Structure 1
């Protein structure tokens, strides 16, 4: 005959009495999270379905008109190779990489230093300069095309990658400074005060304290700049006459003629164009999420 002492009996009674409460709490939390889960699933469906539609269209026989999401009976995987060759993507890929390497690092450096000077060092007239930058964000992008064309022509940089890199750096500055300023204003002022007490200059404080803390914000900003630069089409079309010196977004023109459009190769080329951006985003998604959540947590 098994003997149960009083302590074991009380423990068993406590477990049996609290288990329904625990189950009800879990179910209530699940019900509270259900709308968010449904929203995420809906967003994923709206994002993935167009990609699947493009993939099925890209695998259809050339010259045909794809219909809906029907998977082709004989997938034509060579369409991607044909699209690569028809659009001369190898040359455009090299040009896009050159433009991205010329725009993103320089823009990150200038915007980070400018935001540090405005938010941390509080330079004279810094807030006025920051407000002027914010006002430029309200201007339509298209309104800058004609003035930029005139300036680049006067500089003798038309039809060159440098003539596209310099305007893109300038166009990135307002949003980039705004993004980095949002990071630096959340950095505790005690860090700067402690470094100055220890004898560190503003430059050393920037390099050894603020810059390491700003890595998530810099990484996410670099991702956004990469996406905008990689997908630049209108400005490249206006400033560069040679199609081989433009970005990869210009490759889609190769599948359109005056009287017809090759829908199959157009979808294949669009997927090739999107592949680098998807890969870069997957590599930097943690830094991007950390930067977005940084302002929600008190330091």
Structure 2
């Protein structure tokens, strides 16, 4: 094997090991007997798989899972539609002030998330949706828009202008060109953006804690803080709950990893 091929593989193997070790450590901690304190990366001789059932029941995760799914369904599709339309408009249509609008979205990427929590609280209160899931949905859609629009615009800009010209010659208007030509070509970008939005929404807990007072209406990640404050000495159950929260995100990424990798590779080649 050539040295130029060996070094990249070693780096990839080290990165994979660096990624898997924390998860394996967390899993091993979740399988320890409840009476024992986990000690690093030590696989238990008698794994206690029942810890996951106990953690699920103790945290009462069923309403939290329903709430998380409701919020994800409210955030991801709407964000994808708005981001795709706005990205296409900024990239392909002659919109007055398009460059200034793009700068506004780029500026939105630089705003620290923590600085938005207090304004969002009062904004949702003025809209009358505080202490409801719609407060989290509206807030996350707004927070995700700068990145989503920038992501989709980057894809549409990379499409050759000949594609749009061919659509115009065939008599397609802006909407038909978007729906029949550009959007099918943007499926990898839309799919990868959808994965990112799902991961960010599912793992969101700060907004759920601030904007929703009822613990049963928060996200599963938001419940982890309350669970930890109540059972801060029970490390085993905390690890079990953490694994349960992480599992859906891992499944989604494994199912759609090809689309995600394809979008990144296409961006790298076109860039």
- Kindly provide the CA deviation profile for residues 161-211 of structure 1, in whole angstroms up to 9, marking residues without a partner as x: 011101110000000001001100100111111111111111000010000
SS in structure 2 opposite 1:296? helix
For structure 1, which segment, 270-279 or 31-40, has the greater mean C-alpha deviation from structure 2 after superposition?
Answer: 31-40
Runs of 4+ in structure 1 off by over 4 angstroms are none
- How many Å separate the matches in 2 of 1:31 and 1:61? 46
Q: Which residue of 2 aligns with 1:238?
A: 210
Taking only aligned residues, the RMSD between alpha carbons, in angstroms, comes to 1.4
Q: Which residue of 2 aligns with 1:228?
A: 200
**Structure 1 position 267 matched with structure 2 position 232:** no
Q: What's the CA shift for 1:298?
A: 4.5
What are the ranges of 5 or more consecutive residues in structure 2 without an aligned counterpart? none
Q: What's the CA shift for 1:251?
A: 2.5
**Structure 1 position 84 matched with structure 2 position 56:** yes
- Kindly provide the CA deviation profile for residues 104-162 of structure 1, in whole angstroms up to 9, marking residues without a partner as x: 00000001000100101131111111111101111111111111100100111111001
Q: Which residue of 2 aligns with 1:291?
A: 263
- With the length of structure 2 as denominator, give the TM-score of the two structures: 0.97
- How many Å separate the matches in 2 of 1:105 and 1:210? 18
The 5 Å alignment of 1:65-84 reads 65-84=37-56
**Structure 1 position 131 matched with structure 2 position 103:** yes
**Structure 1 position 207 matched with structure 2 position 179:** yes
What are the ranges of 5 or more consecutive residues in structure 1 without an aligned counterpart? 1-26
SS in structure 1 opposite 2:268? coil
**Structure 1 position 94 matched with structure 2 position 42:** no
- The structure-2 alpha-carbon separation of the partners of 1:126 and 1:86, relative to structure 1 and needing over 3 Å to count, comes to same
- The structure-2 alpha-carbon separation of the partners of 1:34 and 1:203, relative to structure 1 and needing over 3 Å to count, comes to same
- How many Å separate the matches in 2 of 1:259 and 1:265? 8
Determine which of 113, 121, 129 is the counterpart of 1:141.
Answer: 113
**Structure 1 position 113 matched with structure 2 position 74:** no
Q: What's the CA shift for 1:65?
A: 0.8
Instruction: Tell me the number of residue pairs that the alignment of Structure 1 and Structure 2 aligns.
Output: 271
- With the length of structure 1 as denominator, give the TM-score of the two structures: 0.88
Rg comparison, structure with higher value: 1
Q: What's the CA shift for 1:63?
A: 3.4
